[in-house]
Structure 1
């Protein structure tokens, strides 16, 4: 059986909004696989709007550099938020982003081998020296770039999320607003038509199980059974709604909840060509030790003897 840690239960609770005990039970049933647990909880109605964010536990910052038609963002990780706020660490991150832009490098390993500004050393050498100076491990994890005539760049105030959006048409204010919306709403696609077929089928499986369970409960309660074609339409409707929520143009605009993003783009005579969104620690699982919980557990165990 997998080790179900308090940190894993906490993460599942944050991603589903379910209670602690429900989250623990779901993780036990899923043998510790949080994605399976989320799917099962959605099927059981315990997590109707499970977030699709990855495991976000690593610290660090998103830094950027740009010129008139190109922008770069980099994710550089560290172990603690204390170091993430350190002036020297942030200066290093900003300089690395500038190197990526100046040298047109979108590959992490190649970026490490470039010369760091104001020195004859490589970026990797300066990083190694910074690790020795601060006493905490750090790494350049990701670098991404976009080119275009109208680029919107938005770095959240805590430097944990960064977005570049490339628009066709529109103006600088619109591209900035769209990038800010992407930061806040985390769309996975521009339109739902871009969703991979395997993702659609995965969602169909979930919605089918949810709908069939609801129908069985209604029939057991004495309600008339719905025809198969009606159930099929309900399932497809729910799938469409799900992918509308995950698609940029059909999301409600963060600055004006009465409009969808598609309406805002139409008013600005623009369209979104592509975007990139990086969030610090996305997809990384880091062990978190809750010392208070550990002590409480040890005391409880001692008392039980």
Structure 2
């Protein structure tokens, strides 16, 4: 019988994120040697890369960082929440963020091609998946620039790292507290656009068409349909546009009004939620 304990199994699981059965098999094969067992897990993981390609990666974490007036958000995914909260996976997310910041990266292709510690991020993805025995994915990246960039990371479960991340850029003096409050609002209310001007023409046209067809289907008089469409479009903006939304901490004012009162103007934002 291999010379290892339940504590050894627990430690190796925490170090690799591998499943209980895989860890025990590796320790058996390595006669209890932790380093050899880690190598066995890694090698077997590499052999299974192609088998993992079609798997779903619905779990994961959001990593964020702000440096020099630029904020970065990266979402990295795994198959299970067990791996998502493991130290190796969290370290992997930080390495990906290191590459994003060092290369001032703004798009996914550039991030995967970027290097960290002499390795391309795409190679790091393969190696991490091999070590953990799961499909691992770098899903997306966002970069936000501004005079003041606020980062907010939110845990949806106390047992997991952050799964919601927000970057918010604002102009103004002494606006850190206001920016934080709005970043928290964004995390909770999930706006799609910063302002009405940022809503693309296709989306506007589609919303207007749906509003008009709905009014007609409800039998509304033709002469009042334009007013109904206008009202429903205002409702759409209030739901989807950040500065038009009711402020979460004080619904008597909009986010735009709150920022204005604090001497701040929002200039950009990004929001990631794992899997969304």
Asked if Structure 1 and Structure 2 have the same fold, meaning a TM-score greater than 0.5 normalized by the shorter chain, the answer is yes
Q: Does 1:107 align with 2:112?
A: no
Query: Which moved further from structure 2: 137-146 or 156-165?
Result: 156-165
Match of 2:65?
Answer: 65
Q: CA deviation at 1:73?
A: 0.9
In the alignment, is residue 211 of structure 1 matched against residue 215 of structure 2? yes
- Hey, what does 2:50 align to over in structure 1? none
SS at match of 1:257: strand
Report 1:1-305 matches (<5 A): 58-117=58-117, 120-158=118-156, 159-170=162-173, 171-215=175-219, 227-282=221-276
Q: How big is the alpha-carbon RMSD for the aligned residues of Structure 1 and Structure 2?
A: 2.1
**Per-residue displacement from partner, 1:99-140 (whole Å, max 9, x unpaired)?**
2112312233333343434xx433333322221111100111
Q: Offset of 1:246 from its aligned partner?
A: 0.9
TM-score (norm. length: structure 1): 0.65
Q: SS state of the match for residue 116, structure 2?
A: coil
Going from structure 1 to structure 2, the CA distance change for 1:231 and 1:112 (only over 3 Å counts) comes to closer
Matched-pair contact (CA < 8 Å) for 1:192–1:246: no
Q: Distance in 2 between matches of 1:176 and 1:150?
A: 11
Find runs of 4+ consecutive structure 1 residues off by over 6 angstroms: none
| Number of the residue aligned with 2:5 | none
* Structure with the largest fraction of strand: 2
Q: Compute the TM-score of the two structures, normalised by the length of structure 2.
A: 0.71
* Local SS of the residue matching 1:259: strand
The gaps in structure 2 that reach 5 residues or longer are 1-55, 157-161
Displacement of 1:57: 7.7
Distance 1:228 1:110, change over 3 A: closer
> What 5-or-longer segments of structure 1 have no aligned partner?
1-55, 216-225, 283-305
Aligned residues: 215
1:227-279 residue CA offsets vs partner (Å, 9 max, x unmatched):
42223211221122112221111111112222211121111111111111222
